[in-house]
Amino acid sequence: MALQQLFTPGKINQLELKNRVVFPAMGTKMCEPGGYVSQRLIDYHVARVKGGCGLNIIEVSYIHPTARMDNALAIYSDKFVPGMQKLASAIREAGGKSCLQLWHCGKMAAVPEPVSSSPIPFMGTPVAPRELTIPEIQEIVQAYADAAGRAQTAGFDAVEFHAGHGYLPQQFLSPYMNKRTDEYGGAWENRCRFGLECIRAIRAKVGPDFPILMRISVLEDVPGGLTVEDMMSFCQLAEQAGIDAIDVSRGLPEGAAIKFEVPPVDLPIGFNVENASRVKSVVNIPVIVAGRINDPEYADGIIQEGKVDFVVMGRAQLADAEMCNKAERGDLDQIVKCIGCDQGCFDAYVNPYIPFISCMRNPSTGREVEYSLKATEAPKKVLIAGGGPAGLEAATTLKRRGHNPILCEKSATLGGQFYLAGAAPRKKEMAEAAVQMGRIARQEGVDIRLNTEVTPELIDSIQPDEVILAVGSTPIVPPIPGVDGDNVILAQEVLWGHTGPKGNLIVIGGGLVGLETAELLAEQRQQVTIVEMLPEVGSDLGWLRKIPVFEHLYGSGVQMLTSSKCVQINAGGVIVEKDGQQQEIPADCVILAVGSKSLDSENLSAHCKAGGIPFHVIGDALKARKAIDAIWEAAELAREV
Asked whether 59 and 101 are in contact (CB, 8 A), the reply is: yes
Q: What is the pLDDT of residues 97-120, one digit of tens each?
A: 999 999 999 999 999 999 999 999
On whether the 381-475+598-640 domain is CATH 3.40.50.720, my answer is: yes
d(CA 419, CA 427): 10
Per-residue model confidence (pLDDT) at position 482: 95
Q: What is the pLDDT of residues 150-169, one digit of tens each?
A: 999 999 999 999 999 999 99
Per-residue model confidence (pLDDT) at position 335: 97
d(CA 214, CA 237): 12
Superfamily of domain 488-594: FAD/NAD(P)-binding domain (3.50.50.60)
Asked whether 129 and 120 are in contact (CB, 8 A), the reply is: yes
The rounded percent of the chain whose pLDDT value lies above 70 is 99
Per-residue model confidence (pLDDT) at position 600: 84
pLDDT band for position 123 (cuts 50, 70, 90): confident
SS3 639: helix
Q: Which of 134-143, 179-188, 251-260 is the least confident region?
A: 251-260
d(CA 593, CA 595): 6
Per-residue model confidence (pLDDT) at position 141: 98
- Residues noted as catalytic: 167
Q: What is the pLDDT of residues 607-633, one digit of tens each?
A: 999 999 999 999 999 999 999 999 999
Per-residue model confidence (pLDDT) at position 124: 66
d(CA 126, CA 121): 6
Pick from 200, 283, 281: which is nearest to 234 by CA?
A: 283
d(CA 115, CA 128): 9
* CA 99 to chain CA mean position, Å: 22
Q: What is the pLDDT of residues 514-532, one digit of tens each?
A: 999 999 999 999 999 999 9
Q: What is the pLDDT of residues 27-71, one digit of tens each?
A: 999 999 999 999 999 999 999 999 999 999 999 999 999 999 999
Per-residue model confidence (pLDDT) at position 558: 96
Residue 460, beta-bridge partner list: none
Per-residue model confidence (pLDDT) at position 104: 98
Average pLDDT along the chain: 96
254 pLDDT higher than 90: no
Q: What is the pLDDT of residues 319-365, one digit of tens each?
A: 999 999 999 999 999 999 999 999 999 999 999 999 999 999 999 99
More confident of the two residues 203 and 625: 203
Q: Which of 27-31, 126-130, 371-375 is the least confident region?
A: 126-130
232 pLDDT higher than 90: yes
CB contact set of 229 (below 8 Å; sequence gap of 6+): none
Work out the average pLDDT over 211-236. 96
Domain 10-350 classification at class level = alpha beta
Q: What is the pLDDT of residues 581-594, one digit of tens each?
A: 999 999 999 999 99
d(CA 486, CA 478): 16
Q: How does DSSP classify residue 599?
A: P
Asked whether 313 and 255 are in contact (CB, 8 A), the reply is: no
Q: Map out the domains of the chain as residue ranges.
A: 10-350, 381-475+598-640, 488-594
- The model's pTM is 0.95
More confident of the two residues 482 and 125: 482
d(CA 344, CA 629): 10
d(CA 59, CA 287): 19
Per-residue model confidence (pLDDT) at position 498: 66
Q: How far apart are the first and last CA of the chain?
A: 38
Work out the average pLDDT over 159-188. 97
CB contact set of 471 (below 8 Å; sequence gap of 6+): 385, 386, 410, 454, 599, 601, 604, 621
d(CA 110, CA 122): 12
